[in-house]
Amino acid sequence: MPRLANIATVILVAAAVCAGCSSNPSARASGEKKDGEGRAVRVTPSVMGEMARLVVVSGTLAAEEQVVLGSKVAGRLAEMRVDIGTRVHKGDVLARLEPTDLKLRVEQAEASLQQARVRLGLKPEGTDEGVDPEKTSTVRQARAMLDEARSKRDRAGQLFEQQLIARTDLDEAVAGYQVAEGRYQDAVEEVATRQALLAQRRSELELARQQWIASELKAPFDGAVRERNAQAGEYISVGAAVVTLVRTHPLRLRLAVPEREAASVRAGQPVSVRVEGDLAAYLGRVVRLSPAFEEGSRTLRVEAEVPNERGILRPGSFARAEIQTESGHKVVIVPASAVVAFAGIEKVIVVQDGKAVEKPVQTGRRVGDRVEILKGLSAGEQVAVQPGNLVGGQSVTVVP
């Protein structure tokens, strides 16, 4: 029993201590507002600034050029110098075929050309191809035989008139002349044929050299490798795809502008472009407009050119574009978070003499986190940012 009495005594003492603590004002929660203290709000002044008229549309970035490069000659791929993502400049070697066979073809064509030059009486080495047929050995020999046959015919004719030879001797001399004349014509034609053969051998040499040069696949423009279509050691046929190359600067932005906005869009207007996952804005300009609307969607096809020197933007990306159709003019601007809408009525809350004052406003365009105020607010008024459930007449305290 004494033990139970002691326990009861301890409980009574603890209850008394707790009652004393709750009655002490200094023990109240430190976060409780003091009497006369207003609600803390952040404010910003409404400003007079410029806000351009924009058409906001979505689109897709595309490469200005995309080509699948193939080989002009067949052969085994000896070297592949690029891979996916490799950036190249115009004239850079992307791949190279085994050149041995092509080099031998060049040497063979050079030998054939030299042979054709010698047959025409030219030096084996040289670029001159003009030949006078009368100065070639073949034609000179045929000319001499023709002159001799003519002389025999003429003498035989004179002797026949003097009745010194028989008719058969004259006929034989005439026939010999005709044969010599035919041989002369054949010689002239032979020289012309050799000249044509020389031109053919020259073309064959140039073709062999071009094929040798084509054994190196070169970039036709600055860009980046989108796809690698072949591997080193693989046999490549004529026209087979080796590398897919895209031009990454500038990029082409394809947009579909609604019919109601299309009338204000013109070539040359600036465009601000943003892509998913990138907070930066990239500037471009409108360069092309379709002459007709898409009947199904009632939109106008518009293309803009977007510089991409550093290669940050990628073809195929989804993009959101803002086309500036009119230059900016002075308007009252507030943060978008300062505008409160309820039951179709928009308002802002300004701070005047420590009190919240509601002001109905008429808003205009929204650009990013800024809103144009057409009516109801003047520049310089202190507007509450993110007012929440703040109401007019409530006491407020401005905080940084």
- Rounded to an integer, the average pLDDT of 87-107 is 92
Q: Give yes or no for residue 5 having a pLDDT over 60.
A: no
pLDDT in tens, 52-81: 677 889 999 999 889 999 988 999 999 999
Whole-number Å distance between alpha carbons of 397 and 102:
87
Q: Which residue has the higher pLDDT, 352 or 328?
A: 352
Q: Give yes or no for residue 162 having a pLDDT over 70.
A: yes
- Rounded to an integer, the average pLDDT of 7-24 is 38
Query: pLDDT-based confidence at 39, cuts 50/70/90?
Result: confident
Q: Give yes or no for residue 4 having a pLDDT over 60.
A: no
What mean pLDDT value characterizes the chain?
A: 84
Is residue 364 within 8 A of residue 328, CB to CB? The reply is: no
Least confident of 20-24, 211-215, 305-309: 20-24
pLDDT score recorded for residue 253: 94
Q: Give yes or no for residue 205 having a pLDDT over 80.
A: yes
pLDDT score recorded for residue 17: 36
pLDDT score recorded for residue 61: 93
Query: pLDDT-based confidence at 373, cuts 50/70/90?
Result: confident
The number of beta carbons lying within 10 Å of the beta carbon of residue 10 is: 9
Q: Give yes or no for residue 44 having a pLDDT over 70.
A: yes
pLDDT in tens, 148-160: 999 999 999 999 8
The number of beta carbons lying within 10 Å of the beta carbon of residue 229 is: 15
- Rounded to an integer, the average pLDDT of 189-213 is 89
**How much of the chain exceeds pLDDT 70, in percent?**
89
The number of beta carbons lying within 10 Å of the beta carbon of residue 267 is: 12
Q: Give yes or no for residue 351 having a pLDDT over 60.
A: yes
Whole-number Å distance between alpha carbons of 357 and 394:
8
- Rounded to an integer, the average pLDDT of 180-205 is 89
pLDDT score recorded for residue 122: 82
Query: pLDDT-based confidence at 37, cuts 50/70/90?
Result: low
pLDDT score recorded for residue 328: 63
E strands in 64-190: 66-70, 75-80, 87-88, 93-97
pLDDT in tens, 290-300: 999 998 889 99
Query: pLDDT-based confidence at 302, cuts 50/70/90?
Result: very high
Query: pLDDT-based confidence at 10, cuts 50/70/90?
Result: very low
DSSP 111-145: HHHHHHHHHTT--SS-S-----GGGSHHHHHHHHH
Residue 159 backbone dihedrals phi, psi, to 5 degrees: -65, -35
| Residue 10 DSSP class | H
- At 198, the amino acid letter reads L
**How much of the chain exceeds pLDDT 90, in percent?**
39
Q: Give yes or no for residue 35 having a pLDDT over 90.
A: no
Copy the structure tokens of residue 337: 């978070």
Q: Give yes or no for residue 179 having a pLDDT over 80.
A: yes
The number of beta carbons lying within 10 Å of the beta carbon of residue 26 is: 6
pLDDT in tens, 240-290: 999 999 998 999 999 999 998 888 899 999 999 999 888 888 999 999 999
Whole-number Å distance between alpha carbons of 209 and 215:
10
